[in-house]
Structure 1
Amino acid sequence: MSLTDSIPTPPPHVLAASKRSWRDRVLFWGLLVLFVVGLIGLVTATGWRETWQELQKLTVTQFGALLALSLINYVLRGVRWHFLAARLGVNLSLHTSLLHFIGGFAMTITPARVGELVRLRWIRRMTGWTLERLTPLPLADRAFDMAAMGLVLGGGVLISGQGGLRAAPVAAAAIVTAVIVTRPMLLKRIVEALFSLVNRWPRLFATLRQSARSMGLFSQAGTSIPALILSAVGWLAEGFALYLLLKWMGADIGIAAATTIFLFSTLAGGLTGAPGGLGGAEASMVFLLSMSGVPLHVAVAATTVIRITTLWFAIALGALTFPFAEAFSNKSKMI
């Protein structure tokens, strides 16, 4: 017997987990490099000196205020996650729900953000519920996000009077999608129609059909109105952050216009399917700011800062919180 023969082979699930972890790290650093390279290209095109001068205008206190506004958004949406989970019947504390919600941001960089479904894994460990039973939760969470963003975006377009033709279709698509997802019978018919068209993956479509039936829990006014309010206030905080940032850089375009640009760019980036909306969100924001009269070097500087204080701040918080959420769910499973 050789020395290598005496070394046990790791179980398949351990090897699979190791491969996923390696892929996640490569994806994270690869996207970060692409983000930095893209910004360097923009800065080079607009002039290093001008962009750097705009970045220097931002004080530590102001940067902290931007992070605080982002944190308000995350906490309010975490409270909404807890509220929707409780409506579904999940009996967990608010502290635990916030831990799960923020910890899930660590997986924002996965394609279409499917990695955030790790939240369901943590709930499953702690409650014993099946994934099929929990599936309506992320669907409702995303639906209320889209509905609130669409409503705030539409309101911003009306108030600012800018970008109506560009923003109206995106706002309408967000609202229509949210309405469909939170109407169980309509969603059920759409799932059945898709299955008839594809005629594959019967187990997946059966799960989606069951989830569609459960969406009725979230369509009542007592659930949908508080969820929409929490979502809207959270996203308004992010729009206000962009408004303050532009004002500090000497480009006051109005809070309604700034909020419209931020939400449109966020939705546009999400529609590309790229992890975290990378590329699409930045390009949309720089373009819309420039079209609103903001100098290009200011638009690039503001876009760089706001993406750091929103997307990358969320990922950093998620990365810090993820190990605690993982350990806490494992401990609860053993109990």
Structure 2
Amino acid sequence: MTTPPQDLKPRPRGRFGIRRAGTTIITIVLVGAVIAGFVAMATATGWEDSFAQLGKLEFWQIAALLGLTVANYIFRGLRWYVFSRALGLPRGRRRDARHFAGGLAMTVTPGRLGEVIRLRWLARETGWSMDRTAPLILVDRAADLAAMALILAGMLALSAAGMAGAVPAAVIAAIVAVVLTRPSVIGGLVTWSYRILAVRPRLFARARSAARSLQRFSSPRVFIPGVLYGTIGWAIEGVELYLILTWIGADIGLPSAIGIFVFATFAGGLTGAPGGLGGAEASMIALMRLQGVAMGPAIAATAVIRLTTMWFAVLMGLVVLPYAERVSRRIKREREAQALPTR
């Protein structure tokens, strides 16, 4: 067999056909665009004001923000553990913690699809196919949406003004969360899609099987604790924004700060951009301006909250990811060795 010319060889693709190089380029471009946006706004409003706001924060305050971010991901990691148990995976708290933390490195992939690396690790360590564990990603996103809907509804009730625009977001998040956790709805959508497209029947069969697996998460004993953990986690990050604004002298009240953070995160997620880059920052600054926060403090607060939440999470994930990858490979080799017939 002749080797095809180098220029005709297929380029490596990531999971779900996403080109790894393309994903990296998209992320780099978006990060560059966000940085350029911050620079442009800071230049327009005067560098001195933005830097003056940042200079008000002390080391212990930054440490406190990072500690709260860790607390947020502990709660959301507990949710991952609850859903893993509900799916029927073998018990493994350390395994679940390792997978959840390592997956945070993939937060800045388009649509957060990179987080399916957790399913690959599970496949290596437990022998479960990715088709069987795929509902974990779906129900995790659904629990996030349900938590955001609860928070937005609560903050709307407590905020004095300025959060009326969050009403549609709360309604949409609640509806999508309900849809994503109803096996009959998902199964019906899969069947309808197959009847229209009539291609790759195996793929649609797998999708229907994954939809049926969602039934395991429909129990209130499973989904309610999962939503509760997510609600606490997202609210903690909203408290971080409140603390930042208070420390730089731009207090807008706790309900408004939490509502702004959650709404901006949701809006950024709707764009499908890695980590909601661009959309989340623009929404956050705009909502703070509506609350009477000057442009300088708004830019500073947005930069700090994104660095101490999303980018700090990515850093934690990058620290854990090589270890999680190494452990998963070792366990896979051990499983394969045990499966070999003895002479």
The answer to whether TM tops 0.5 is: yes
Instruction: Give, in angstroms, the shift of residue 254 of structure 1.
Output: 0.8
Letter in 1 for 2:283: S
Asked if the contact 2:45/2:295 (under 8 Å) is kept, the reply is yes
Write the mapping of 1:153-302 to structure 2, written as runs, cut at 5 A. Answer: 153-302=152-301
2-structure distance, mates of 1:81, 1:212: 18
Q: Matched residues, percent identical?
A: 43
Change (3 A) 1:15 1:219: closer
Q: Quick check: 1:157–1:163 contact (8 Å CA) kept in 2?
A: no
Give the structure 2 partner of residue 82 of structure 1. 81
Q: CA deviation at 1:318?
A: 1.0
Per the alignment, residue 315 of structure 1 pairs with: 314
For the Cα contact (< 8 Å) 2:181–2:217, is it kept in 1? yes
- Measured in 2, the distance between the counterparts of 1:314 and 1:331 equals 26
Distance in 2 between residues matched to 1:91 and 1:14, nearest whole Å: 36
Residues 116-167 of structure 1: CA deviation (Å, up to 9, x unaligned): 1000000000000111111111111111111011111111111114344310
| Farther-moved stretch of structure 1 (195-204 vs 137-146) | 195-204
**Counterpart Cα distance in 2 of 1:183 and 1:15:** 35
CA contact (8 A) 1:79 1:94 kept: no
**2:150 aligned with 1:151, yes or no?**
yes
Q: Is the 8 A contact 1:160 1:257 kept in 2?
A: yes
Change (3 A) 1:251 1:16: closer
Structure 2 match to 1:333:
332
Q: Give the superposition deviation at 1:201.
A: 4.0
Matching residue's letter, 1:233 = I
Q: Is the 8 A contact 1:182 1:215 kept in 2?
A: yes
Normalised to the residue count of structure 2, the TM-score between the two structures is 0.89
Q: Distance in 2 between matches of 1:126 and 1:300?
A: 44
Q: In the alignment, what sits opposite 1:106?
A: 105
CA shift for structure 1 position 195: 2.9
Distance 2:254 2:28 in 1: 34
Listed one character per residue, the Cα deviations across residues 282-334 of structure 1 (whole Å, up to 9, x for unaligned) are 00000000001111111111001101111111111111111001001001101
1-side partners of 2:10 and 2:132: how far apart? 24
Kindly indicate whether residue 65 of structure 2 is the aligned counterpart of residue 66 of structure 1.
Answer: yes
Quote the offset at 1:15 in angstroms: 6.0
Read off the aligned partner of 1:160 and give its amino acid letter.
S
CA distance in 1, matches of 2:80, 2:113: 16
- Secondary structure of the structure 2 residue equivalent to 1:91: coil
- Secondary structure at the aligned position of 2:293 is classed as coil
| CA distance in structure 1 between the aligned counterparts of 2:173 and 2:60, rounded to whole angstroms | 34
**By how many angstroms is 1:191 displaced?**
2.4
Q: 1:235 to 1:278 in 2, by over 3 A?
A: same
- Residue 188 of structure 2 aligns with an amino acid whose one-letter code is R
Deviation at 1:13, TM superposition (A): 10
Q: 1:53 to 1:282 in 2, by over 3 A?
A: same
Deviations 1:17-62 (A, max 9, x none): 7x96655554444433233222111211221000110000011111
The CA distance in 2 between the partners of 1:23 and 1:121, in whole Å, is: 21
Provide structure 2 residue ranges, at least 5 long, that are not aligned to the other structure. Answer: 335-343
CA distance in 1, matches of 2:67, 2:116: 26
Shift in Å at residue 251 of structure 1? Answer: 1.0
1:69 corresponds to which letter in structure 2? L
1:48 aligns with 2:47: yes
> RMSD of aligned C-alpha atoms?
2.1
Query: 1:216-252 CA deviation, whole Å, 9 max, x = no partner?
Result: 1101111011111111110110010000000001111
Contact in 2 for aligned 1:239/1:259 (Cα 8 Å):
yes
Contact 2:23 2:110 in 1 (8 A): no
Post-superposition offset of 1:200? 3.7
TM-superposed deviation, 1:198: 3.8
Cα 1:85–1:330 shift into 2, 3 Å: same
SS at the partner of 2:272? coil
* Gap runs ≥5 in structure 1: none
Q: Which residue of the partner structure matches residue 337 of structure 2?
A: none
TM-score, L = length of structure 1:
0.91
